[in-house]
Amino acid sequence: MTAVDVGPIGSPDFEPDDAGARAGTPDFEPVAVAAHYDPPPAGIDPDQTKGWMKRLWPLVRAYRRTMLIGVVTGVVALAIQAAVPALGRSAVDAAIEGNRQALWIVFVLTAAFGIGRLVFGGVYRYQLFKLGWNVETDLRAIMYEHLTRLSFSYYDRTQSGEVISRANSDIRSLQLLLAFGPLVSMNVLMFVMALGFMVYVHPWLALVALAPLPGVYWFGLKFRNQVFPLSWVTQARMADLATIVDENVNGTRVVKSFAAEERQIALLGRSAQRIQWTNVEIANSRSRWNPLIESLPRLGTAMVVLYGGWLAIEGVVSIGTLLAFSAYVIMLQVPFRMAGFMLMQGQRASAAAQRIYEILDEVPEIVDSPTAVDIVDPRGQVDFEQVSFGYNPETPVLDEFTLHIEPGERVAIVGSTGSGKSTVARLLDRFYDADGGSVRVDGLDVRDVTLRSLRHTVGLVLDEPFLFSASVHNNIAYGRPDASRADVIAAAEAAQAHGFISELTHGYDSVVGERGYTLSGGQRQRIAIARTLLANPKVLVLDDATSAIDVTVEEAIHNALQELMANRTTIIIAHRLSTISLAERVVVLDQGRVANMGTHAELLATDPHYVEILARHSDDGSDDVSGNGGGPVTSWNGH
């Protein structure tokens, strides 16, 4: 992905993540499949100084045809509706005068207007709701695309429930406003039409009908000032609730293992009560101000009946005019009856939009530089030169870490907990950028190569493998969706996973549960290894990748890996001696620095710290650091 700083956020002006390899370079792209959906036609205005609606406008404007049809048909429908009371006035006056021909004409016109209102009203409602749903769909796609580009540091400090809430309930708040907002705006147009007729017929009577409106405006302003901060708090607390639910669903095994169900229910209850409080406060505001906003125009109706009735008695206006006037007064009230709802929805949408923009305005830290190049025909050389890094700048994890790995070499990195072993893998795959020094692959700084080619070159198997709620085949083929079943089976066999997969009810078509929890930890790890092997990276990083696999299966995996690691640079992060035995060289980390390196036998004989690390993780004799059946740590005949 190329960092581009022009064009709306999420617009086609940005290079999409599935843009493929650049012209003139080999096809390194592991996911070479076509998108199954059209990208959003526009994005969000990146200018943070603009109001929320102005920033959303480029996306709304992309559906101007839908919006234009909706607005035009809506105006026609409202014009027809505004003309009906005038026809009623003519009908009443014709009936009083005994003019049958005029009465029939009014009847035909009223029926025609009714049919027209039905057709045009249906079209404009359909178009405007379609506009709202289209914008919601595109906004959700824009947000998800942006989330995929954000760096790991963002997710380190952001709760998953917060993201889920903003991608769902907040976007829905915008959709509701976009669907209903134009309808209310059209009711305002109907207000203008009705007012125009009233002023034309009798200006003073129209003024009497409008007398309560300044009070409506004042009460609406008070209502808005109270609801906006409450809406913001409500959205934030809903995100907190979503986080609790997400953690309890994903961590249900931990909750149950500690019999902490009641404690978590209490935590959820407290969070729900906090939302209840804000919702009750919003309800209190609505109950206080909405009745005033809706009822004041009715005082205008009473005053019209009184004053208009006196004018009719005096013969200044006809009975039909008085009835039409009363109908128009009711039309004047419609926008105000909806004003309370729209004020509340508008404030909720405003708060939701700002929360959404907080994500979209987040700038990815790890991006391709403008001059980034692809890694072409990788050899697998890896260099760490004076690398310093800390997730928290005040607490460094790596301190001037230096390591050179030749192409095809197998190196094990060993160290106590917190020494920086996994951090080495994360910097190599550029999940984070080093604070100092450089990380190089084939002599190229990882900051100067494209992320896609880097992550195709460097394959990482984590100690906590994540599986998707999909078939076993699709999980293994995640890096190569177009891989054949034969290729998937071959990768599974190399990872010693084919046996247990074949015993599943539907074999490779069996769907694993969320996060793969229907499988054991060792089975998940083997599928993760198969997934990485199928992608065929030139540099393979095994981050404690067989920690949950029993020794017998692990030995079979190692035998297969011995062949697969030929001509492939392999970095093994492990505590098990059986895994370390795959390496030709062992690097000992201590407090973020290389404390020692050499073969296992050399370190075993000369480095007490290395012996202590191995002994600490040799729990049951399965990892016999001595090579003599569980005796004292003295020697080992391997590398």
At 251, is the pLDDT very low, low, confident or very high (cuts 50, 70, 90)? low
The pLDDT value recorded for residue 585 is: 92
Average pLDDT over residues 381-410: 90
At 4, is the pLDDT very low, low, confident or very high (cuts 50, 70, 90)? very low
Distance CA 519, CA 403 (A): 37
Cα-to-chain-centroid distance, residue 365: 18
Range with lowest mean pLDDT among 408-417, 523-532, 615-624: 615-624
The top-scoring range by mean pLDDT among 250-264, 384-398, 434-448 is 434-448
* Average pLDDT of the chain to the nearest whole number: 78
Average pLDDT over residues 25-50: 67
At 25, is the pLDDT very low, low, confident or very high (cuts 50, 70, 90)? very low
Q: Residue 590 pLDDT more than 50? A: yes
Structure tokens, 605:
């004989």
pTM over 0.75: no
Residue 210 or residue 32, greater confidence: 210
Structure tokens, 603:
């370190």
Query: In this structure, are residues 149 and 361 in contact, taking their beta carbons and an 8 Å threshold?
Result: no
Q: Residue 581 pLDDT more than 50? A: yes
Q: Residue 431 pLDDT more than 80? A: yes
Closest CA to 526 of 481, 441, 570, 461: 461
Q: Residue 420 pLDDT more than 80? A: yes
Question: What sign results for the dihedral spanned by CA atoms 266, 268, 269, 273?
Answer: positive
At 638, is the pLDDT very low, low, confident or very high (cuts 50, 70, 90)? very low
Rg (CA), the chain: 35
Distance CA 579, CA 414 (A): 11
> How many residues are given for the chain?
639
The burial class, CB within 10 Å (0-12 / 13-18 / 19+), for 317 is buried
Cross-sheet strand order for the sheet of 444-445? 398-405, 382-389, 436-441, 444-445
Range with lowest mean pLDDT among 21-35, 40-54, 188-202, 605-619: 21-35
Structure tokens, 431:
């999940």
Percent of the chain with pLDDT over 90: 11
Residue 381 or residue 328, greater confidence: 381
The pLDDT value recorded for residue 341 is: 65
User: Torsions phi, psi of 561, nearest 5?
Assistant: -65, -30
Q: What is the pLDDT of residues 497-510, one digit of tens each?
A: 898 899 988 899 98
Q: Residue 442 pLDDT more than 90? A: yes
At 610, is the pLDDT very low, low, confident or very high (cuts 50, 70, 90)? confident
Residue 378 or residue 519, greater confidence: 378
Q: What is the pLDDT of residues 230-242, one digit of tens each?
A: 776 776 777 677 7
Distance CA 328, CA 326 (A): 5
Distance CA 364, CA 438 (A): 20
Q: Residue 190 pLDDT more than 80? A: no
The pLDDT value recorded for residue 104 is: 83
Distance CA 476, CA 534 (A): 7
Average pLDDT over residues 246-259: 64
Q: Residue 154 pLDDT more than 90? A: no
Distance CA 615, CA 491 (A): 33
Average pLDDT over residues 23-35: 45
Q: What is the pLDDT of residues 55-78, one digit of tens each?
A: 989 988 899 898 889 888 988 888
Q: Residue 632 pLDDT more than 60? A: no
Query: In this structure, are residues 621 and 630 in contact, taking their beta carbons and an 8 Å threshold?
Result: yes
Average pLDDT over residues 582-609: 88
User: Torsions phi, psi of 78, nearest 5?
Assistant: -70, -35
Instruction: Count CB-CB contacts under 10 A for residue 138.
Output: 23
Q: Residue 2 pLDDT more than 70? A: no
| Long-range contacts at 603-612 (CB < 8 A, ≥ 24 apart) | 604/633, 604/634, 604/635, 604/636, 605/635, 610/414, 610/586
The pLDDT value recorded for residue 575 is: 73
Going by the DSSP 8-state scheme, the letter that residue 463 receives in this structure is S
- Domain ranges across the chain: 52-360, 389-465+538-616
At 169, is the pLDDT very low, low, confident or very high (cuts 50, 70, 90)? confident
At 552, is the pLDDT very low, low, confident or very high (cuts 50, 70, 90)? low
Per the DSSP assignment, residues forming a β-bridge with 368 are 2
Distance CA 89, CA 94 (A): 9
Distance CA 267, CA 274 (A): 11
Q: Please determine whether the domains at 52-360 and 389-465+538-616 fall in the same fold group of CATH.
A: no
Average pLDDT over residues 316-342: 73
Average pLDDT over residues 510-533: 81
- 440-478 as b/e, with b when 16 or more CB fall inside 10 Å? bbbebebbebbbbbbbbbbbbbbbebebeeebbbbbbbb
Compute the half-sphere exposure of residue 1: CA atoms within 13 Å on the CB side of its CA: 20
Distance CA 400, CA 499 (A): 45
The pLDDT value recorded for residue 549 is: 63
Average pLDDT over residues 372-389: 91
At 201, is the pLDDT very low, low, confident or very high (cuts 50, 70, 90)? confident
At 424, is the pLDDT very low, low, confident or very high (cuts 50, 70, 90)? very high
Helix 213-250 and helix 319-360, axial crossing angle in degrees, nearest 10:
40
Per the DSSP assignment, residues forming a β-bridge with 460 are 541
The top-scoring range by mean pLDDT among 4-18, 46-60, 74-88, 154-168 is 46-60
Residue 82 or residue 474, greater confidence: 474
Task: Report in angstroms the alpha-carbon separations of 533 from 37, 73, 458, 463, 478.
Answer: 29, 59, 11, 15, 11
Query: In this structure, are residues 572 and 579 in contact, taking their beta carbons and an 8 Å threshold?
Result: yes
Average pLDDT over residues 140-149: 86
At 348, is the pLDDT very low, low, confident or very high (cuts 50, 70, 90)? confident
The pLDDT value recorded for residue 8 is: 54
**In CATH, what is the architecture of 389-465+538-616?**
3-Layer(aba) Sandwich (3.40)
Residue linked to tokens 């129209």: 206
Structure tokens, 9:
């956020």
Average pLDDT over residues 404-408: 92
Please state which CATH number belongs to domain 52-360: 1.20.1560.10
At 31, is the pLDDT very low, low, confident or very high (cuts 50, 70, 90)? very low
- SS3 call for 316: coil
